[in-house]
A and B are shown apart, each in its own frame.
Chain A
Amino acid sequence: MSEKKKIKVPTMAELAAAGKKPEWLFWVGSAGAFDDRYKKVTREFVKILTYFQVDYAVLGVEESDSGDVARRAGNEMLFQMQALTNIELINAYGVKKIVTCCPHDFNTIKNEYPELGGHYEVYHHSQFLEKLISDKNLNIETGLFSDKKIVFHDPCYLGRANKEYEAPRTVLGKIPSTKLEMRRNRSFGLCCGAGGGQMFKEAEKGDKEVFIERTEEAIETGADIIATACPFCMVMLTDGIKYKNQEERMKNYDIAELLSMSLGL
């Protein structure tokens, strides 16, 4: 076992106080900061940032919810208050490039903040990692997942909403393993059931929950791992795996976790 180095996550405020401006703002997002499962993804992503010496900082306690849930649940007033407050903060730090692990925040900041005065170059972490892998000419030799079958679930707000289907697959392609696809993939991908505010409310009456339908489809592929790239999808599919009693043979990981683990970080 090699030695461990403690990571100190830089904040925008500290760097600004020291007169520095990082290249990247890592937008953690509410789920990345508070959801127990996705906090792990945030940590793995930060490990990758640190390992590759990316010049970044987070907003820390100054960050507030992007407003995506509020907007799509119809609360435009709350969305715009969140957005305008965040934009004011981000602009004050002179941020140009933003990366986030949440496709919802990625979509909102990229497509909806500009109308309210927030103009940034926004990357989803799948796109960021894809670029990082290619810039660093990264080749992974470790066979941590080489006997595993991985199936990728397209998050709606990365895929259909922003037509990014290949970046997460390119990242997964770098990890020695067998890749599978579900019947409904890419632009045909089925929602996990959490978007549009569903994450925070009871589902309407029906025959089935959406996350079960999607998990069943993933199970049918015979995959050992469902890879995701979205905090909401993560919650829903983890629940689905539990519901179908597949915890013993099936795991759910974010692409950043799979990459970090493969790099042995």
Chain B
Amino acid sequence: MTTKQLLFTLALLLTIAAFAWTMRRIFLYFKFTGKYRLENIPARLITTIKIALGQTKIMRHPVMGFLHALVFWGFMVILVGSIEMVLDGLFGTERMLQVLGPVYDFFMASGDVFAAIIAASIVVFLFRRLFMNVRRFYGTEMKPVSKADANIALTFILLLMVSLLGMNVFYVLEANNHGHGIAGLYPISQIFAAQVTGIDQGHIYFWHEFNWWFHILLIFLFANILPYSKHFHVFMSVPNVFVSKITPLGHVDNMDSITKEVKLMLDPNAAFAESSEAPPKFGVSDINDVNWVNYMNALSCTECGRCTAVCPANITGKLLSPRKIMMDVRARMKEKGPGLIKHGAGYDDNKSLLGNYITEEELWACTMCNACAEECPININQPAIILDMRRYLVLEKSAAPSGLNTAFTNIENNGAPWQYSQQDRMNWAEELYLKE
């Protein structure tokens, strides 16, 4: 084993160990969230192909959407090269996948082109974030740390692409010098390499090694930073689309615990039948109440703000921001999760998601119009959490705004949200004529 192999293996093991530690923690967090049954796997696969792989929803904004799609597809292609780098690092080989022949040429060529496209896209993204006043990048929830998070992630990607191109350029130069031919095709890097003259063999070797190590170590570092960043999106968004809502946006999940109670109430015979178990808590007030799909939504959110930009409440200056709801869910788990792991599900830190993070005013400003969910490029369902918190307020605290309480009372008493007698429900039909 060469020193390079040894160093690489150590770096890889360190990366895997750190990553496994983080993922285990996140997995444990999930254990404290509620159940949710995934149905209709075929429909989920189709949704994933369309929305995740096909990038259909992000292209609702065609220009930026297309740039993002290029970045995403580019990552997919470049992933092959990254896997090869790991294999090369472990086995001390150079470009070992070249045995794949034309397939290898295809992946290397497209990876090389995509690296340039991604780098250019990232420059556009950074420019928009730093110098353009794009409304969705602002808002109360976008603290300096959130903005820094975005810019750091973009910088990482830019450096990854530059080092990938650098590696390819010096690989081409090295191969030319040795006259052993180039494995793979590098349309962009070959152009760059042709411009480089007068560098001696030693420098070429150094810069190739430098870019190789820089690129792979940056990937290792990036992978371990991601779970602590909004850019965890990179790992979570595709699985998130798979578990996301596939029923029509108008459909909300039935509360089966309530169905049980209501059926008992409507059936007098059943009233005495069974009531041994304590009634479950209705709705969501803290992070342990959200179901695992809600939490996965929150972990996948990359704070792009497309939801908030279309929210009628937010547009008209109300407190509600769907993006903030997702960020709050994630932040609350980050705060309470370690305590839950340490002390178990009963752990109470005298704080809660509803109250300390999300206010009632935000929840009641929602019109349930689903503009946010329609817009989310990775199919996050923000209204589901908002509704579950409303359910807690109404069912556990009887804390609805007074107008809604009146509407509830009217529905209960006379079957309509307004105070009209049910016997008057046909009054509209009086004195109705058709011209002939």
| A contact residues vs B (CB 8 Å cutoff) | 1-7, 9, 11, 28, 30, 32-35, 39, 42-43, 46-47, 50-51, 58, 60-61, 63-65, 67, 69-78, 80-82, 84-85, 107-108, 111-112, 115-116, 156-157, 160-163, 187-191, 193-210, 212-214, 264-265
Contact = CB atoms under 8 A, between A and B. Distances in A.
Interface stretch (B105-113, B160-168, B425-433): B425-433
Nearest to A106: B250
A250 B417 CA distance: 29
Given A193-B367, A204-B364, A65 B417 contact: yes
Given A84-B266, A202-B401, A74 B390 contact: yes
Interface in B391-415: 391-395, 400-404, 406-408, 411-412, 415
Contacts of B35: none
B254 A115 contact: yes
Interface residues of B, number: 74
A162 B249 CA distance: 7
B394 A73 contact: yes
B387 to A, nearest CB: 7
A9 B394 contact: no
13 contacts: A4-B433, A6-B431, A11-B426, A47-B434, A65-B416, A74-B392, A74-B395, A78-B411, A111-B251, A189-B371, A191-B312, A191-B369, A206-B313
Interface stretch (B9-17, B222-230, B316-324): B316-324
B259 interface: yes
Contacts of B183: none
A32 B252 contact: no
B400 A9 contact: no
Contacts, number: 247
Given A74-B390, A111-B247, A156-B371, 19 more contacts: A11-B426, A33-B424, A34-B425, A46-B432, A60-B425, A61-B422, A74-B391, A75-B400, A76-B255, A76-B394, A81-B265, A156-B368, A162-B249, A194-B367, A197-B404, A204-B313, A210-B312, A212-B316, A213-B316
Given A7-B434, A72-B387, A162 B250 contact: yes
A213 B387 contact: no
A116 B408 contact: no
Contacts of A30: 415-418
B428 A42 contact: yes
A6 B370 CA distance: 42
Contact of B428 (A1, A33, A72, A82): A33
A244 to B, nearest CB: 15
Contacts of A200: 403-404, 406-407, 417
A198 B316 contact: no
A219 B312 CA distance: 18
Contacts of B420: 33-34
Contacts of B394: 73-76
B361 interface: yes
B368 A72 contact: yes
Contact of B282 (A42, A47, A70, A76): A76
A206 B415 contact: no
A163 B435 contact: no
Contacts of A160: 249-250, 369-371, 373-374
B369 A73 contact: no
B202 interface: no
A85 B266 CA distance: 9
Contacts of B258: 76-77, 80
A265 B265 contact: no
B234 interface: no
Contact of A207 (B283, B316, B364, B392): B316
Contacts of B422: 61, 64
B83 interface: no
B291 to A, nearest CB: 15
Contacts of B404: 73, 75, 197, 200-201
B365 interface: yes
Given A78-B412, A163-B248, A6 B433 contact: yes
Contacts of A81: 262, 265-266, 412
A107 B250 CA distance: 6
